[in-house]
Amino acid sequence: MATNPLIGGVMESEIARSYNSFAGADYRACIGQYEFAELQAVSYSVTREKAPIYTMGSPDPRAYARNKRGIAGSLIWVNFDRHALLALFYKARGMFVAQADEIRPQYIDTGGVGVSTASNVFNAGIVRETSVPIGANISALDVPVIPGALGELAYPWYSDQILPFDITLAASNEYGAMAGAKILGCEILNEGTGVSIDDTVTETQATFVARALEPMQAIQTAFPPSVMDQVNNLISR
């Protein structure tokens, strides 16, 4: 006997797939090929400059000029025992070109396993990769420039050092419907977090700007259609 191809069996309502909607629990956010599992919320807005053009003889605008567009948004994620966004890029081996003489944290756990000793954290300070000490004055930096030695690859220690990335929002609900959207070329601007006696969880918020946006759109699903869809298909044959 052939099995019923419906997701909910013969008891599935004919209107079960009439409208598709998605809740926050249906969404997953991915940066590249890695899921940003700690993300709690993402929002974005698109703004554009449009100005009225006036001429003598009428108080009403003759036309509207269209000018620059901007895309910006915010991210909110929870930190369990590490900085979630930086840990994601450490895992993905995301690096940037840092100045060789730039001061930086002495210890950064980029192994992705989160195994750090207390001495690594509490005894760490700021260091400089070159031989110039931290307490040196500006005259100590007046040294001959070696071609090719001004920059070096490094892991980011601030979120704003992360190179532009794409955020893919993938939605899939229990009816089998799917949808997706994409925010392209995100650049982190600001970041803030805090802890207090009244906070149950530790959250971090960051603002970003983006280059482009792919709006939400339905995605063809691999799951079978509803009862009414199958009836209509049989009638049309």
Q: Which two tokens stand for residue 203?
A: 């959250």
3-state secondary structure of 47: strand
Host H or E run for residue 217: strand 212-219
- Tens digits of residue pLDDT in 68-99: 999 999 999 999 988 999 999 988 888 888 87
Residues in the chain where the model's pLDDT stays below 70: 1-18, 106-149, 224-237
- Residue 21 confidence (pLDDT): 86
Q: How far apart are CA 33 and CA 199, in angstroms?
A: 32
Q: Which two tokens stand for residue 6?
A: 């419906």
The count of residues in the chain is 237
Task: Looking at the structure, give the CATH architecture of the domain made up of residues 9-47+64-95+155-236.
Answer: Roll (2.30)
Residues 126, 105: contact at Cβ < 8 Å?
A: yes
The domain ranges of the chain are: 9-47+64-95+155-236
- Residue 25 confidence (pLDDT): 93
Residues 74, 207: contact at Cβ < 8 Å?
A: yes
Query: Which residues 6+ apart lie within 8 Å of 179 measured at CB?
Result: 20, 22, 170, 171, 216, 217, 218, 219
- The distance in angstroms from the start CA to the end CA of the chain is 24
- Residue 236 confidence (pLDDT): 60
Place of tokens 């704003």: 160
Q: How far apart are CA 64 and CA 50, in angstroms?
A: 6
3-state secondary structure of 235: helix
- Residue 27 confidence (pLDDT): 94
